[in-house]
Amino acid sequence: MAEIKFPNEFCSQRSAELSQDNMRPKSAAKYLDVSEPTLARWRQPHNQDIGPPFIRAKSGGCVIYRRKDLDAWLEQHRVGSRCKEEKPAS
Protein backbone atom coordinates (compact mmCIF):
# COMPACT_ATOMS: atom_id res chain seq x y z
CA MET A 1 0.00 0.00 0.00
CA ALA A 2 1.39 3.37 -0.99
CA GLU A 3 0.69 6.52 0.99
CA ILE A 4 0.60 9.66 -1.13
CA LYS A 5 -0.52 13.17 -0.30
CA PHE A 6 -3.22 14.14 -2.78
CA PRO A 7 -4.75 17.56 -3.26
CA ASN A 8 -7.91 17.98 -1.16
CA GLU A 9 -10.21 17.58 -4.16
CA PHE A 10 -9.20 13.90 -4.46
CA CYS A 11 -10.47 13.16 -0.98
CA SER A 12 -13.56 15.34 -0.89
CA GLN A 13 -16.95 13.69 -0.63
CA ARG A 14 -17.93 15.33 -3.90
CA SER A 15 -15.25 13.53 -5.89
CA ALA A 16 -16.78 10.05 -5.79
CA GLU A 17 -15.69 9.68 -9.42
CA LEU A 18 -12.12 10.80 -9.98
CA SER A 19 -11.27 9.97 -13.56
CA GLN A 20 -11.06 7.03 -15.90
CA ASP A 21 -7.61 6.25 -14.52
CA ASN A 22 -8.26 6.75 -10.79
CA MET A 23 -11.28 5.47 -8.89
CA ARG A 24 -12.75 5.67 -5.42
CA PRO A 25 -13.80 2.37 -3.78
CA LYS A 26 -17.42 2.55 -4.97
CA SER A 27 -16.37 2.76 -8.62
CA ALA A 28 -13.59 0.21 -8.18
CA ALA A 29 -16.00 -2.28 -6.62
CA LYS A 30 -18.38 -1.84 -9.53
CA TYR A 31 -15.50 -2.22 -12.02
CA LEU A 32 -14.40 -5.47 -10.33
CA ASP A 33 -17.99 -6.69 -9.86
CA VAL A 34 -17.57 -7.10 -6.10
CA SER A 35 -19.32 -5.39 -3.21
CA GLU A 36 -17.84 -2.36 -1.47
CA PRO A 37 -17.63 -4.29 1.83
CA THR A 38 -15.58 -7.00 0.08
CA LEU A 39 -13.19 -4.40 -1.28
CA ALA A 40 -12.95 -2.86 2.21
CA ARG A 41 -12.12 -6.28 3.73
CA TRP A 42 -9.37 -6.74 1.13
CA ARG A 43 -7.84 -3.44 2.29
CA GLN A 44 -7.48 -4.63 5.89
CA PRO A 45 -3.80 -5.16 6.80
CA HIS A 46 -4.12 -8.94 7.17
CA ASN A 47 -5.89 -9.24 3.76
CA GLN A 48 -3.88 -6.85 1.62
CA ASP A 49 -2.27 -9.67 -0.32
CA ILE A 50 -5.75 -10.82 -1.45
CA GLY A 51 -7.15 -7.70 -3.07
CA PRO A 52 -5.90 -5.28 -5.69
CA PRO A 53 -3.30 -2.61 -4.90
CA PHE A 54 -4.64 0.71 -3.63
CA ILE A 55 -3.40 4.09 -2.51
CA ARG A 56 -4.37 5.54 0.86
CA ALA A 57 -3.91 9.29 0.85
CA LYS A 58 -2.35 10.72 3.99
CA SER A 59 -4.78 13.63 4.00
CA GLY A 60 -8.09 12.27 5.25
CA GLY A 61 -7.14 8.65 4.63
CA CYS A 62 -9.19 8.38 1.45
CA VAL A 63 -8.57 5.38 -0.79
CA ILE A 64 -7.86 5.51 -4.50
CA TYR A 65 -7.54 2.65 -6.98
CA ARG A 66 -5.69 3.03 -10.26
CA ARG A 67 -7.39 1.37 -13.23
CA LYS A 68 -4.09 -0.08 -14.44
CA ASP A 69 -3.62 -1.78 -11.04
CA LEU A 70 -7.15 -3.20 -11.17
CA ASP A 71 -6.61 -4.50 -14.70
CA ALA A 72 -3.29 -6.12 -13.72
CA TRP A 73 -4.91 -7.69 -10.63
CA LEU A 74 -7.75 -9.08 -12.75
CA GLU A 75 -5.27 -10.54 -15.23
CA GLN A 76 -3.31 -12.20 -12.41
CA HIS A 77 -6.50 -13.84 -11.12
CA ARG A 78 -7.82 -15.07 -14.44
CA VAL A 79 -8.81 -18.74 -14.24
CA GLY A 80 -9.13 -21.26 -17.03
CA SER A 81 -7.55 -21.87 -20.35
CA ARG A 82 -7.87 -19.85 -23.46
CA CYS A 83 -10.64 -20.79 -25.84
CA LYS A 84 -9.55 -23.64 -28.02
CA GLU A 85 -10.03 -23.33 -31.72
CA GLU A 86 -12.76 -25.55 -32.98
CA LYS A 87 -11.43 -28.32 -35.14
CA PRO A 88 -13.01 -28.49 -38.58
CA ALA A 89 -15.32 -31.46 -39.14
CA SER A 90 -13.68 -34.25 -41.10
CATH for 29: 1.10.10
Q: What is the pLDDT of residues 5-36, one digit of tens each?
A: 454 555 654 455 556 789 999 999 999 999 99
Q: Looking at the domain assignment, is residue 47 inside a domain?
A: yes
State the pLDDT at residue 78: 85
Domain-embedded: residue 86: no
Q: Identify the burial level of 73 via C-beta atoms within 10 angstroms of its C-beta, where 0-12 means exposed, 13-18 middle and 19 or more buried.
A: middle
- For residue 40, pLDDT over 90 is answered with yes
Q: 90 lies in a domain?
A: no
How large a percentage of the chain has pLDDT more than 90? 43
Exposure on the CB side of residue 59, measured as CA atoms within 13 A = 9
**Rg, the chain, Cα only:** 17
* Average of per-residue pLDDT values in the chain: 78
Domain residues for the domain of 21 are 2-76
